[in-house]
Amino acid sequence: MTPQIIGTYFVCLSLIIGSGFVLVGVIGLLKFNDPMTRLHAPTKVGTVGIGMLLIASIIHSFDIGEPSTHELLIMGFLFVTAPISANFIAKVNIHRRACDTPPEPPRDDTWSTLNAPVEDGDAVAQK
């Protein structure tokens, strides 16, 4: 087997995996009703799918002898902007009260310390 044939197999494998992830993201986008649940499908699954398609493009460009690394810039931009845009969309939905707001966290003063929380039975035993 020549390196070109092996590269072609890797390109095909990357395209199939990337297309599968993109398909799952599209189905999730169409199937979910709530904007907050709909948000996860394209940002999480779509990012991996587009990343695999870009990896296939990188491998193919090296395989034909014309190396191109523009896809790395696209991937970096995609991996940086997708979580930020998802965060902004979630904040807009929360501020517009278009979804259920998360419950308030319980009052706990020991979450960032090494102090062990005192149980009610322990407090009685210590007195």
Percentage of residues in the chain having pLDDT higher than 70: 77
**According to the model, what pLDDT value does residue 111 have?**
62
**According to the model, what pLDDT value does residue 78 have?**
86
Tokens of 119: 């149980």
| Residue-wise pLDDT tens digits, 83-110 | 888 888 888 877 777 666 666 766 666 6
**According to the model, what pLDDT value does residue 11 have?**
94
Give me the DSSP letters along 54-114: HHHHHHHHHHTT----HHHHHHHHHHHHHHHHHHHHHHHHHHTT-SPPPPPPPP-TTTTSS
**According to the model, what pLDDT value does residue 107 have?**
66
Q: Is the pLDDT of residue 113 over 70?
A: no
